[in-house]
Structure 1
């Protein structure tokens, strides 16, 4: 097995994890869809980095850079429309464990230089964006994110519209 094949096997792991996540994007409640969208942008970025090394295509790293910036921005925009930013431990721990597990070996493989700096920047953006967007938040009307479950399970905290 060549090193390119090994990198492609590493890229296959986040791609396989993307299947159930995309199912949740298409078939979940709005809050769950938002979490799945957040996780799908993280997994997409994580799949592109080793694929760039395996295929020998540095342009995939640029796509991962764009995805690491626009993924969390998209999550925050949709959270604004929904009125709530749901918290997710899955997204947070996937970022905190998965990003270093993929980025650090890639940094060793590429060696010091501009490419390594770009990999570290992408890793930092993936972690920061995922941690910020998975922290949960309050609604614009001053309610808290879990208020609906505590007050009758309705989206507006048990109040009638």
Structure 2
């Protein structure tokens, strides 16, 4: 088994995690769908980072960067329409454990340079975005 196969096998973990999340997006209450959308963006970005290394395609890292920026933004926009931002410890702990577990080995594999800085930026955006969008709103009743 080559190193590329290892990265691709590691990329399967977040992809397999997407299966129940996508089911919740398709068949869930609006609050559950919002949480699942947030988690789906996080898992998809992590899978893209791993597959970028496995396939040797740096362009996939750019797509992960776009997801890291637009995923939490979309969550906040939909939360505004719902009137409440539901808290989610699953999203929070997935970001706090998953992003460093993916980004730090990728930084070691790519070596020092611009690509490592880009990976660290993506990891920071994934963690910060997930922490903001999974914190929940103070009032559960929402505002008009």
Return the TM-score normalized by structure 1: 0.87
Instruction: Return 5+ residue gaps in structure 1 as ranges.
Output: 139-143, 148-155, 157-161
1:101-148 deviations in Å (ceiling 9; x for gaps): 01000000000000000000000000000000000014xxxxx12x5x
Measured on the aligned residues, the alpha-carbon RMSD in Å equals 0.9
**Aligned partners of 2:103 and 2:7: how far apart in 1?**
12
Provide the C-alpha distance between the structure 2 equivalents of 1:128 and 1:84, rounded to a whole number of angstroms. 19
CA offset at residue 56 of structure 1?
Answer: 0.4
Q: Is the counterpart of residue 31 in structure 1 residue 19 in structure 2?
A: no
Q: Which runs of 4+ in 1 moved over 4 A?
A: none
Counterparts of 1:8-157 in structure 2, within 5 Å, are 8-138=8-138, 144-145=139-140
Q: Which has the higher helix share?
A: 2
Aligned length: 142
Cα displacement string for residues 63-120 of structure 1 (whole angstroms, at most 9, x for unaligned residues): 0000000000000000000000000000000000000001000000000000000000
Instruction: Tell me, in whole angstroms, the C-alpha distance in 2 between the residues paired with 1:19 and 1:99.
Output: 19
Rg (Cα) greater in structure: 1
CA distance in 2, matches of 1:135, 1:31: 14
Cα deviation, residue 38, structure 1: 0.2
